[in-house]
Structure 1
Amino acid sequence: MSSGPHITTAHRKRMRPQRKIADLTLKAICIGCTILGVFILGSILLMLLIKGFSALSANVFTEVTPGPNSLGGGIANAIVGSLVLTVIGIGVATPIGVLAGTYLAEYGRTSRLATVIRFVNDILLSAPSILIGLFVYTFMVKPFGYNGWAGGIALAIIATPVIVRTTEDMLRLVPGSLREAGVALGAPMSTVITGITWRAARSGMVTGILLATARITGETAPLLFTAFNNNYWFRSDLMGGIPNLPVMIYKFALSPYENWQELAWAGALLITLTILALSIIARLLLKKEKA
């Protein structure tokens, strides 16, 4: 016999309407919140598409950013500057992130050092980007002035934890039997990793790199303290202010000049389309990896 209270058929019948009402209420709240979120995001995207495409022209991609209260101009220098900063950031973050993720998945696993690395990586994942910008400013901008190298390093610090986490997760999905087969054939662990596990998790690792690229493409706060901005082409040694889309959008959107505001909308649209394209490619690669 059960020790709990005996639930009769009549009691169950009385409870069913209450459960149905609670279920329908919760479902209505969830649907309402979903519709509200989609409406807000859709409104923002629609406004961006309308104002962004209306501001696009050939001059946007061929001319440099104009001066205050001037007509014409484009954002060609900001586009190239953003590409340079992103390439530096991903170029520095990729080898560090891949090697660190490989150590955590293949060598460290449950060691104390691996635990510390994961803890620090989690902190960097959630750290405000403005703090990273201030950190790089202290060591690379105060002694040398604003420069593109500092901006690239700041973006690399933001991208590295994303690559580390994705690389470790993807390598952990590789079956252990593949590693055992390689070791059984007499291959050293380094060969097993580069020739077997990396190849098996290649799509997922590339996905992590693409997600990290999308993560840093629109970062503004760290660049305000490192690369800053200017209205001209940057120097070949990347010293001095480096024009870039995020800071340009921030500066032009707050300006009273209509021409600058239109260029800000065009830059925002380009960044959004770039992040959207990278996210779609990453999802397709991740879907392929899971399959």
Structure 2
Amino acid sequence: MTAPAQAPTGQNQALRGRRTPLVVFAVIAVIAFGVSAALCYGAGIGGWVLTIVIGLILYLAGVFVAVNRVEGRRAARNRIWSTLIQLAFVLALLPLVSVIWTLISKGTERFDLNFFTTSLNNTGARDPDGGAVHAIIGTLQQVALAAFLTIPLGVLAAIYIVEYGRGRLALTIRFFVDVMTGIPSIVAGLFILSFWVLIVSPWYNNGQPAFSGFAAALALSVLMLPTIVRSTEEMLRLVPAPLREGAYALGVPKWKTILKVVIPTALPGIVTGIMLAIARAAGETAPVLLVAGGTAAVNINPFNNNQSSLSLFVFQQASDASRFSPARAWTAALTLVALVLILTIAAKLIAGRNRIRR
């Protein structure tokens, strides 16, 4: 049996079509931005921003002309749209890179042992020391309590909507969840303030309203619940129906199918939604300010007395007149982002490990 004859090299190149050399794009970029810089700075009509904008327009026009002559009009349009998509990606990435760079460059000034082992208690305006251990403890406790209250409730509500809910009741629940998604954080804080702090807390505090970290956790739960419900609902709907039908065909009860098949399949997406809710809760300031009050001392009891958080600490230090406060605020912001990043990575690793075991 003989091998099929290969086409000549020239024929292969004809089938592949001609390609514009990469050096052409480099030359076009140099010429475009050179002309733009000469036009903007020579005529004095703008700075570097206008130079980049005009340079990109000239570059796209030059690329279209060059590719159109070599590869054809269709390839030229494809090259222009590919360049625009890549440019949009770069523009979307720039704010994220800028935020990360700003946090790291300004937040490392007070990133020391004193910041993580001391509080602001008895710290004066001229004292360069003072840390945020009280705010870190408050954030961890409040977010943990809010997650403990919200995650089971949100996941079970999503399971009911997807697996059991039918008719108007399910539509009504979904509608109110969508409405809650857009509630401002200060409204959630006002709700807990009027209900828990002013009505419930006087029952166990000798008739006096009491601020507490637990009240802040309740307010954060109101903000976390719709995010968890909606994200979990969407992930459960993505589970293929044949997986459920196969389990039912084997005689597996519905509750066991949900527990052993549906939830493990959707677990990575569910974890992502939960972490988004936790990240939002950890960065909220208004609810904590309204119902926890804030404090400069360490309070490890979230059910009694005022408590602070990292977001509230950042807000207070950013508005403080002391020249040492901005450095504390930036370090606290970096710490908050680092905590959320660590929790997200840990949750992803746990979800991935469970998925491998299945």
Q: CA deviation at 1:111?
A: 1.7
Q: Tell me the equivalent position of 1:10.
A: none
Q: Tell me the equivalent position of 1:260.
A: 325
Pick the aligned partner of 2:175 from 104, 109, 119: 119
Matched, 1:98 2:163: no
Pick the aligned partner of 2:135 from 70, 78, 81: 78
Q: Is the 8 A contact 1:211 1:282 kept in 2?
A: no
The alpha-carbon distance between structure 1 residues 113 and 52, as it changes in their structure 2 partners (threshold 3 A), is same
Q: Is the 8 A contact 1:228 1:247 kept in 2?
A: no
Q: Is the 8 A contact 1:146 1:241 kept in 2?
A: yes
Matched, 1:222 2:287: yes
Q: CA deviation at 1:168?
A: 1.2
Q: Tell me the equivalent position of 1:43.
A: 98
**SS of match in other structure, 1:139:** helix
Pick the aligned partner of 1:207 from 245, 259, 272: 272
- Rounded to whole Å, the distance in 2 between the matches of 1:195 and 1:34 is 39
AA paired with 1:129? Answer: S
**SS of match in other structure, 1:258:** coil
**Does 165-174 or 234-243 show the bigger shift?**
234-243
The alpha-carbon distance between structure 1 residues 78 and 237, as it changes in their structure 2 partners (threshold 3 A), is closer
Q: Tell me the equivalent position of 1:138.
A: 194
**SS of match in other structure, 2:340:** helix
- Rounded to whole Å, the distance in 2 between the matches of 1:202 and 1:44 is 30
Deviation sequence 1:224-275 (CA, Å, 0-9, x none): 1111210111152522211211111100111011222221111000112233
Q: CA deviation at 1:176?
A: 1.8
Q: Tell me the equivalent position of 2:220.
A: 155
How large is the RMSD of aligned CA atoms in angstroms?
3.1
**SS of match in other structure, 1:214:** helix
**Does 55-64 or 172-181 show the bigger shift?**
172-181
The alpha-carbon distance between structure 1 residues 169 and 281, as it changes in their structure 2 partners (threshold 3 A), is farther
**Does 274-283 or 247-256 show the bigger shift?**
274-283
Q: Tell me the equivalent position of 1:6.
A: none
Q: Tell me the equivalent position of 1:242.
A: 307
AA paired with 1:116? Answer: T
- Rounded to whole Å, the distance in 2 between the matches of 1:83 and 1:237 is 10
Q: Tell me the equivalent position of 2:118.
A: 63
Structure-to-structure mapping, 1:187-202, within 5 angstroms: 187-202=252-267
% of aligned pairs identical?
34
Q: Is the 8 A contact 1:94 1:163 kept in 2?
A: yes
The alpha-carbon distance between structure 1 residues 241 and 105, as it changes in their structure 2 partners (threshold 3 A), is same
Q: How many pairs does the alignment contain?
A: 275
**SS of match in other structure, 2:163:** helix
- Rounded to whole Å, the distance in 2 between the matches of 1:115 and 1:213 is 26
Matched, 1:166 2:222: no
Q: Is the 8 A contact 1:86 1:213 kept in 2?
A: yes
The alpha-carbon distance between structure 1 residues 27 and 218, as it changes in their structure 2 partners (threshold 3 A), is same
**SS of match in other structure, 2:289:** helix
Query: Structure 1 unaligned runs (5+)?
Result: 1-15
Deviation sequence 1:170-225 (CA, Å, 0-9, x none): 11122222222322333322122112212222222222222211121111111111
- Rounded to whole Å, the distance in 2 between the matches of 1:277 and 1:97 is 23
Return the TM-score normalized by structure 1: 0.82
AA paired with 1:208? Answer: G
Deviation sequence 1:9-55 (CA, Å, 0-9, x none): xxxxxxx99xx89x96x988877776555444433332221110121
- Which protein shows a greater Rg? 2
- Rounded to whole Å, the distance in 2 between the matches of 1:155 and 1:228 is 15
Q: CA deviation at 1:105?
A: 1.0
Q: Is the 8 A contact 1:214 1:278 kept in 2?
A: no
Structure-to-structure mapping, 1:12-23, within 5 angstroms: none
AA paired with 2:232? Answer: T
**Does 226-235 or 65-74 show the bigger shift?**
65-74
The alpha-carbon distance between structure 1 residues 215 and 177, as it changes in their structure 2 partners (threshold 3 A), is same
Q: Is the 8 A contact 1:211 1:278 kept in 2?
A: no
**SS of match in other structure, 2:298:** coil
Query: Structure 2 unaligned runs (5+)?
Result: 1-71, 200-208
- Rounded to whole Å, the distance in 2 between the matches of 1:246 and 1:141 is 21
Return the TM-score normalized by structure 2: 0.67
